[in-house]
Amino acid sequence: MRFKDVFSIIGPAMVGPSSSHTAGAARIGRVARLLFGDCPARADILLYGSFAATYRGHGTDTALVGGLLDMTTDDPRLPEALAYAENAGMAVSIAPGKGLYPHPNTAELYLSDAAGNRKLQLTGTSIGGGNVEIVKINGFSMKLSAAYPTLTIRHRDETGIIAIVTGLLGGEGINIAHMTVDRRSRRGEAMMVLECDGIPAEDVLQAISALPAVEELRLLAI
């Protein structure tokens, strides 16, 4: 395995005990929170592999919930996140999932608002050193590290939409480090994820959001 820097080995500033099972879990939860937009009314979480086997001892459950409450990996409130969730009115269920995933540290999160109208399904893996990969968002296969400022754009699959979005970013000097695109069907619903070297200016975000094909844009900068 090749590491990009020493932090890939020792992990981020964090509440322990584990960079993969605690810090990584907190980051998965926080990505889900930012994609959902605010605190969900309900969170149903399924754990797989070593997450399922050791989550109580390693604080994976409290870390995921803490991330959903917008807590960072070094937030001292993480160990009490379940109590904070109850105070915030967020109902939480956590259980081992059935079946196997390619990566042993995998969590599936199902979030919803109080009315059950707004929902988010996210699958994330903790790959070590506090690093994560988000591999599925609402059924779209993705690859999102959350290591860079990231745009997630849900849009209609129309000719030229990717070129228009990347052109708007390039015109403002925003370089794209990594890009993933998936669609449900030709001319159907699609999603693009753009991990960038910088945070786009507000007017650029507004210009992308105003495109007729764009249905939702989220900025992740954690």
Strand partners, 106: 48, 125
**Model pLDDT, residue 17:** 47
What strands lie across the sheet with 42-48, from one edge to the other? 91-96, 42-48, 106-112, 119-128, 131-137, 140-144
CA dihedral 81, 129, 32, 199 (to 10 degrees): 120
**Model pLDDT, residue 97:** 87
**Model pLDDT, residue 222:** 81
**Model pLDDT, residue 1:** 43
In 52-203 the beta strands, taken as DSSP E runs, fall at 91-96, 106-112, 119-128, 131-137, 140-144, 150-156, 176-183, 189-196
**Model pLDDT, residue 187:** 85
The domain 150-220 is placed in CATH, from the list 3.30.70.580, 1.10.10.1200, 3.30.70.260, 3.40.50.720, at 3.30.70.260
Query: At which residue do the structure tokens 């945070």 appear?
Result: 199
* CATH T-level fold of 7-144: 60s Ribosomal Protein L30; Chain: A; (3.30.1330)
Kindly report, as residue ranges, where domains of CATH 3.30.1330.90 are found in the chain: 7-144
Kindly report, as residue ranges, where domains of CATH 3.30.70.260 are found in the chain: 150-220
**pLDDT string in tens for the chain (222-residue length):** 444 555 555 555 555 545 566 888 999 999 999 999 999 999 999 999 887 777 676 678 999 999 999 998 888 898 899 999 999 999 999 999 887 777 778 999 999 999 988 999 999 998 876 789 999 999 999 999 988 999 999 999 999 999 999 999 999 999 999 999 999 988 899 999 999 999 999 999 999 999 999 999 999 988
**Contact by Cβ (8 Å): 43, 122:** no
